Each structure stands twice: as structure tokens, then as C-alpha cells.
Copies of this chain bind each other. A is one copy, B any other.
């Protein structure tokens, strides 16, 4: 999805060394759009264009490139010339970006950083992926509680350009411990009372996260309290970072995609679909496909037990896929409803008894509907009206089995500390295939012999 609209003009301007035109191109548009128009250029050409912007703008435009393209850019020029551009980015973005390039390149770029910046990057990159520490940034406004609103605003004027966000300002003591929070809005509102100190306008009960918290918990906290940003503290309650809304939006989108992959039994991807190689994708799919295949082996053993019966009553065969897929579908629905409710915090393992009763009721209602439809079909396909009864009787039982298995398995997984989303749809369906076959043929033998 490369936008090629301006590529010819850009290349012409580069060839003619048209500084004025290139400078205009870099500054006229939103950096995200500038980046979009540049994606078709080679790294060398792209640097040729960026040379006409100031450092901050270079960093901003670069940050909107796709990650692999950013990495190519960093490797296209010597470390000492790209380091100042990288240095303008926020520490969390630096960590992500440096993780994309060759280790040696990353080290050389880091070597050109100031001691403070290098320490920030190294500290951040130590946190395990998926924790608050790994997605936070270390640039935030720290203010002393003795400032007045006007002094705080002046202090901010000086700091503002270097900070990722000034929407919440954290008030700390001499040891760096978090004492309170004020919003720019509070400060602006308090300008009319110039004698007031931050300690009087700050909120002292600060919702915060710990560096080791799971990113999903942080996300839930920010959503529950409608926060634009959340401060992150270490074990000694010292303020060490901040997580902002855009970091968290990335997390939400990523987690949603992971859940979708899991529900279809694919290992989550690290890259986009089109940028992941066919071999990697085959591995991420093959593992689960093989596990499911081994599970499906069991259906052959189950059917083998009934081979003689099926040979005696051959018409039974034609309903096998119908019966097991209907059970699987109702089981998938239940599993998805329960997993979604658990994910959104709308239900918990303690509700298992209510959930089971509800699913039992739904299984009965849905089973009866399927039984009615199945009876109509079976009347045409089975030798006698009596023998047709096998199909509806099975469908009621299979649909109920589906709703119970589909709803209880995620709860059991959650209870024993596993991710309920691992109980993906194909697993539920596979398990119900097995139950469905046994139920179907037991019911048939009971009614017909």
C-alpha cells in the first residue's frame, strides 16, 4: 500500500537539488502524510529529502514510516549521522526501533547518545515484553509541589518541547516519590488564583501502574478511569515513567488481533501478514493444525467402534457431518460469548453456575429448533418416520453438549490460570466432533435396535 502520487516530483526535485521545494514538502503536510508519500523512495533518496527538514521534524516523519522501513533508513547512513535523529524520539519508540536493526548498528547508535538518554533506553529495554515497563516512556513532566500555578506553567514552557505529553503533570518529592497529579486544565483553571500552590490543587489519590504490571491490566485501569495517561512507579513507589493513550491504543489493537488469531488456532504474528514469510506462517499454523489433527485422530477410533453398525444401517452415515458441525457451531458461539465476557471483565469464574444454567437453557432452546429442522430433513432421507427420530433426538443432545463444553472449558482454563482464549474455536469444535459422533450412534442404536 505505497502511495506513489508524488514520487516522480520528489525524484525530480532530488535530481535538481531543489532545496526550497523539498523543504516545502517536508513542512507543508502532517508528518504522517509526508511519511506516506515517501514510502516508495529508497533509503538514500528518503534521507536526501529529510536533509531539508530540521532534526525534530526528521525524527517525527521517520517515526511514521513502517518499522522495517525505519530500520532500513538507520542502516543506510553511518551511526553518528542517524543518532541525532533517533535521539529526538521518545525513549519507548527508541527501544522499539533499535530492536528492529542489527544489534551492532543499535550499539553504535546508542554509543552516540548522551549518557542519560542511553541509560533510559537500556533501562526500558530490560523490561519484559507485555509489562507496563516495556511500553512506558520516561519523558514526563515532574513538578515540585511548592510551585504556584503560574510558576508551574513557566516551568512547563521550558520543558514542553521535550515531553511526549503535558496533559497530566506529576508532582514528586525530593526522593522522586509520586505525591500527586495535576492536569494542564487544572493549572489553567487555577491561573486566576495566583497564590495557590500545586500541593493545594493536585489530586493526591493517584491511579498508577507498577513497572511489572501486565499491559492488559494497565489498559483496563486506564479505560475504567478514563485516563489519558497513567504514571508508572517502581517497587519503591518512585515515578519512573508514563504510559500515554497512543501506547495503549496500540496495545488494544494488538491484543484484539491476538485474540482473533488464537480463536482460529494461529500463533500470533510479530509482523504484518504480508511481511511474514510463507515459511514462518506455515510454522505458526502448522503447529496448531497438527495438534488439532492428532485430536481429530480420536474421531477415527470412535467411528471404528461403530463400523459394523454403520454397515448394517448405512443411511446413518449421511447425517454425520450435519450433526457434528451443528454441535461444533453452538459450542463456538458459547465459547466466544464466555471468552469475550471474561476479557471485558463482564463475568468471572465465580459466575460459573449462572453461566452453566443459562447455557443449558439456551442449549435446550437452540437444540429444539435444530431438532425441528433436522426432523423435516430426516423424514425425506431415512427409511421410516420412526427411524428419522434419531436425527432430532441427537441434535438436542449434541447442541446441549456444545453449549456446555463451549462455555465451561474457557472458565476451567481461566480457573487453572491459563488464557481462556487458548480454548479456541477449533479445539471446542474438535472435542464436540468426538462427543457428537458417540452421542449420535449411541442414540441410533438405542432407538433402532
Contacts and interface: CB of A to CB of B under 8 A. Distances in A.
A303 B318 contact: yes
Contact of A260 (B188, B245, B260, B374): B260
Interface stretch (A80-88, A129-137, A336-344, A411-419): A336-344
A166 B188 CA distance: 10
Nearest to A406: B264
A335 to B, nearest CB: 7
Interface of A: 1, 28-30, 32, 153-154, 156-157, 160-161, 166-167, 184-185, 188-189, 191-192, 203, 205, 207, 223-226, 228, 245-246, 248-249, 252-253, 256-257, 259-261, 263-266, 269, 272-274, 278-279, 281-282, 285-286, 288-290, 292-294, 296-297, 299-300, 303-304, 307, 310-311, 314-315, 317-322, 324-326, 328-330, 332-333, 335-341, 344-348, 351, 354-355, 358, 361-362, 365-366, 369-370, 373-374, 377, 381, 425-426, 429-430, 433, 437
24 contacts: A156-B188, A157-B192, A184-B184, A223-B246, A264-B333, A264-B336, A264-B425, A265-B332, A266-B337, A272-B346, A272-B347, A278-B365, A285-B330, A285-B333, A285-B362, A288-B333, A289-B329, A289-B369, A297-B322, A300-B381, A303-B317, A310-B314, A321-B437, A425-B425
A370 to B, nearest CB: 6
Contact of A286 (B166, B335, B365, B426): B365
Contacts of A377: 297, 300
Contacts of A344: 253, 257, 272
Contact of A273 (B319, B346, B437): B346
Contacts of A156: 188
B282 A366 contact: yes
Which 3 A-B residue pairings sit nearest by Cβ, starting from the closest? A264-B336, A256-B256, A273-B341
A260 B257 contact: no
Contacts of A303: 317-318, 320-321
Given A160-B189, A288-B329, 5 more contacts: A153-B188, A264-B335, A274-B351, A290-B369, A293-B370
A344 B333 CA distance: 24
Contacts of A311: 311, 314
Contact of A261 (B328, B336, B354): B336
